[in-house]
Structure 1
Amino acid sequence: MEHVLGPITREIFNRGLSYQDFKKLTDQLVLEGKTTGANQSQAYLEYTRLNQQRMHRWDKTLKVSARMAELVQSISEHQAWTVITEAWCGDGAQSIPYIARLADLNPNIELKIIMRDECPEVMDAYLTNGARSIPKLVAMTADLVCELFTWGPKPTYLIEKQKAYKHDSQGVSYQDYSAEVHLWYAKNKNHDLELELYPLIQSSLIL
């Protein structure tokens, strides 16, 4: 556990959205033909529409293992979980529903979702190899003084897959690559995400 004078202030945390409010925002943006952030390109609008579908689908189908549920329910001290994302972020739409389901299992966990581009000072404290990669989960003590763990922006398998693709695409278009990634998410059913989050959450219990 790390003591920090971090960028996630009480004001920023309280301003964040619950998962339900984030979904409502996404629904409204889709209706208006908009997304979050400055980039309002047609591609980003389409990403947002797809993410709306992904989140609603996961809400109906995702499952938390009994092992993980038991661990999360054993958290006895209040924790503040912040997810940094944007409505157009495909990896966010795949992972945040599961993270939100975990938070729902224990009233000691308060989850807030903040937008990357609205909180650059927060994002820049949690870069991934120098990049503003999202989503990023930051778990802290309830007073926002001690950092418990971080995770993101995606399961390790996909991080390595992305590195390999950037090094040599082997003629695969980005559209086809992206389709492969989201097919992997659908087949993996949050298995890798759970495996990665379990030891992080477990470590947060050792105070």
Structure 2
Amino acid sequence: MKVPIAKALFNSHSYPQYRKLVSDLLVEGKSTGNEQSENLTLYSTLNETRMNRLEKTMKIPNENSLKLKSLKGEYIWLVISEGWCGDAAQILPIIHKMAEESGKIELKIVLRDENEDLMNLFLTKKAKAIPIVVIIEKATGDLLGSWGPRPKDAADLITNYKKEFGTIDETAKTDLQLWYLHNKGLSTQQELINLMENL
């Protein structure tokens, strides 16, 4: 097992611990991460609402449930996240439900800014984009693969917007959140299940 992965696992949070950490910081008017700003705290507050809603409404279709339950072996999904990240807020509740549904996946979450060595192993076009799901074989600690920071169609939406308008502004972020709302977590489920089945 790579040292940054081992270190990150040692300092990781369960899903409920992560939720509590983000909530407790918000009570103090703070967000997770090295940088503190009004905007980041605002995003974190919005994300709390999103995650609460998703936890209530998100469904795993039967066929996906069966695939998750029939995975061979046991795994750790180590997710790199931050409370202010809009993509993470849309994806974490889905990953949490998938792990629970499977019974073969243990979900661990670490903060990006506290795990720079780990983040540097999983850059997206040289950027520290999150969330990233790091897939580890539980028995051996072997790194099997990774996924993220967002489903392909969502990534394409942002890439195309940037090509057309030259920047990612609030409109792009709103479009992305609407995409997540309509997709209901199905692309994330599909892509992660495909990845797990092809390991």
Q: TM-score, normalised by structure 1?
A: 0.90
| Structure 1 pair 148–173 and aligned structure 2 pair: CA distance change class (3 A) | closer
Residue 27 of structure 2 is aligned to residue 8 of structure 1: no
Output the amino acid matched with 1:5.
K
Residues paired across the two proteins, number: 199
Residue 65 of structure 2 is aligned to residue 69 of structure 1: yes
Using the alignment, how far apart are the partners of 1:200 and 1:188 within structure 2? 19
Matching residue within 167, 184, 190 for 1:189: 184
Using the alignment, how far apart are the partners of 1:14 and 1:109 within structure 2? 17
Using the alignment, how far apart are the partners of 1:168 and 1:6 within structure 2? 41
Match of 2:197 in 1: 202
Find the residue that maps to 1:145 and give its secondary structure.
coil
- Using the TM superposition, give the Cα deviation of residue 58 of structure 1 relative to its aligned residue in structure 2, in angstroms: 0.4
Give the conservation status (yes or no) of the 8 Å contact 2:8–2:118.
no
Using the alignment, how far apart are the partners of 2:140 and 2:31 within structure 1? 29
Output the amino acid matched with 1:175.
E
Using the alignment, how far apart are the partners of 2:10 and 2:63 within structure 1? 31
Moved more, 70-79 or 184-193: 70-79
Residue identity (%): 34
Matching residue within 81, 84, 98 for 1:85: 81
Moved more, 11-20 or 81-90: 11-20
Residue 134 of structure 2 is aligned to residue 127 of structure 1: no
Unaligned segments of structure 1, at least 5 residues: none
Using the alignment, how far apart are the partners of 2:193 and 2:105 within structure 1? 15
Match of 2:40 in 1: 44
- Using the TM superposition, give the Cα deviation of residue 120 of structure 1 relative to its aligned residue in structure 2, in angstroms: 0.4
Output the amino acid matched with 1:123.
M
Residue 104 of structure 2 is aligned to residue 111 of structure 1: no
| Structure 1 pair 135–144 and aligned structure 2 pair: CA distance change class (3 A) | farther
Using the alignment, how far apart are the partners of 1:183 and 1:57 within structure 2? 14
Matching residue within 92, 113, 138 for 2:134: 138
